[in-house]
Amino acid sequence: DFTEMMRALGYPRLISMENFHTPNFMLVSEVLLWLVKRYEPQADIPADVETEQDRVFFIKAVAQFMATKAHIKLNTKKLYQADGYAVKELLKVTSVLYGATNMKGGERADLREEDYGKFKLDLGSKIADLKAARQLASEITSKGAVLYDLLGKEMELREARTESIARPLEINEAEKVMKIAIDSVLEQVQKTKDMLNNVALDETSLEAKIEKRKLELERSQKRLQTLQSVRPAFMDEYEKIEEQLQKQYSSYLEKFRNLTYMEQLLDDHRRAEQEMFEEAANMLRLMQNRLKEEEQHLLKSEDNDDSDIDIQEDEGSDSELDGQIIKQHTSTEALLQG
């Protein structure tokens, strides 16, 4: 029944009971918001349901709206569950809207977009009349209750009224009553005159205070002008000390700049020397490695020459070997000196 009613009311989305087998709060909130807007298009219901607090506030706002506007009591706990129990609460609202849109013969009316627009327009135009009717109804009930109380006292007041009407009017009593009334009026007039006189006195006292304050202000302004015009005795010394301080500050700035520049130059010089020492150490290390490799190579070549030369040629080749060894030593010494 719920799905058919929602389809008949023109809900744009298809709904089945399988959607409510598990809690589906997003669908329930969407249906509730659509029903509220369908009942009153100008209703201000917050549509934010991201957090738990927002959901609770949304359910409370919808329940309060339905209770005040449509006189439909909804169970907020079941609506918050968003399952099959929530459908029963939604059915209360949909049944009211569905009954309002039925035809005369009891047949279901498939509302089209044009009919829905007309229905919404008529409902919006009648909201002001509905509010006025509710206000008048409340006033009528209050006035009726007061009238009922007064009519209940009529039995007691009737006898006093008849007695006062039947009693003859005495001139002396009337004069007394009129004198009492005149005296009360004259007393009120005197009180008002006294209040006016007191207001005048207060006004004069306030004016006197204002004039006194003005004189004090003028006196203080003149004193301020005299103090501003007089030059203090220590002002000359103060200006001299200020000039000296300015000079000292400028010299301090110049020395500080020079010191920072010299420190930077010293750091650059130390860095360049460190780089030169590192380069020289690297060159010495490379030359030592090269000399070791050349000596090993020479030793290997001498061993090979000794194995290949015969015993007969030993006497003639001694001088040549000595010359080669002398040349190699001289070349190594030259490299070391360089």
Q: Please compute the mean of the pLDDT values over residues 284-313 and round it to a whole number.
A: 76
Comparison of pLDDT for 242 and 58, the residue scoring more? 242
Distance of CA 213 to the CA centre of its chain: 48
Please say if the pLDDT value at position 316 is more than 80: no
Residues 6 or more apart in contact with residue 304 via CB below 8 angstroms: none
- The predicted structure's pLDDT at residue 2: 74
- The predicted structure's pLDDT at residue 157: 82
- The predicted structure's pLDDT at residue 121: 45
Please say if the pLDDT value at position 232 is more than 60: yes
Lowest mean pLDDT among 89-98, 189-198, 235-244: 89-98
- The predicted structure's pLDDT at residue 306: 58
Please say if the pLDDT value at position 12 is more than 50: yes
Q: How confident is the model at residue 42 (pLDDT cuts 50, 70, 90)?
A: confident
Averaged pLDDT of the chain: 78
Task: Return the structure tokens found at 1.
Answer: 């029944």
Please say if the pLDDT value at position 224 is more than 80: yes
Distance CA 218, CA 211 (A): 11
Lowest mean pLDDT among 6-15, 97-106, 231-240, 279-288: 97-106
- The predicted structure's pLDDT at residue 274: 93
321: burial class by Cβ within 10 Å (0-12, 13-18, 19+)? middle
- The predicted structure's pLDDT at residue 336: 45
- The predicted structure's pLDDT at residue 220: 92
What does the pLDDT look like over 189-203, one tens digit per residue? 999 888 888 888 888
What does the pLDDT look like over 149-188, one tens digit per residue? 888 888 888 888 787 777 776 778 778 888 999 999 999 9
The CATH-assigned architecture of domain 1-102 is Orthogonal Bundle (1.10)
Q: Which amino acid is at 77?
A: K
Q: Please compute the mean of the pLDDT values over residues 11-38 and round it to a whole number.
A: 80
* Torsion 51-52-57-63 (CA) sign: positive
SS (HEC) of the chain: CHHHHHHHHCCCCCCCHHHHCCCCHHHHHHHHHHHHHHHCCCCCCCCCCCCHHHHHHHHHHHHHHHHHHHCCCCCHHHHHHCCHHHHHHHHHHHHHHHHHCCCCCCCCCCCCHHHHHHHHHHHHHCHHHHHHHHHHHHHHHHHHHHHHHHHHCHHHHHHHHHHHHHCCCCHHHHHHHHHHHHHHHHHHHHHHHHHHHHHHHHHHHHHHHHHHHHHHHHHHHHHHHHHHHCCCCCHHHHHHHHHHHHHHHHHHHHHHHHHHHHHHHHHHHHHHHHHHHHHHHHHHHHHHHHHHHHHHHHHHHHHHHHHHCCCCCHHHHHHHHHHHHHHHHHHHHHHHHC
Please say if the pLDDT value at position 78 is more than 70: yes
Comparison of pLDDT for 77 and 311, the residue scoring more? 77
Residues 6 or more apart in contact with residue 168 via CB below 8 angstroms: none
- The predicted structure's pLDDT at residue 305: 62
Q: How confident is the model at residue 281 (pLDDT cuts 50, 70, 90)?
A: very high
- The predicted structure's pLDDT at residue 9: 78
Q: pTM for this one?
A: 0.32
Q: How confident is the model at residue 215 (pLDDT cuts 50, 70, 90)?
A: very high
- The predicted structure's pLDDT at residue 203: 87
- The predicted structure's pLDDT at residue 123: 53
Q: How confident is the model at residue 82 (pLDDT cuts 50, 70, 90)?
A: confident
Please say if the pLDDT value at position 118 is more than 60: no
Q: Please compute the mean of the pLDDT values over residues 45-73 and round it to a whole number.
A: 82
Q: Which amino acid is at 271?
A: R
- Percent of the chain past pLDDT 70, that is, above it, reads 82
Lowest mean pLDDT among 142-146, 158-162, 163-167, 292-296: 163-167
Comparison of pLDDT for 107 and 267, the residue scoring more? 267
Q: How confident is the model at residue 213 (pLDDT cuts 50, 70, 90)?
A: very high
Distance CA 292, CA 74 (A): 103
Distance CA 174, CA 70 (A): 60
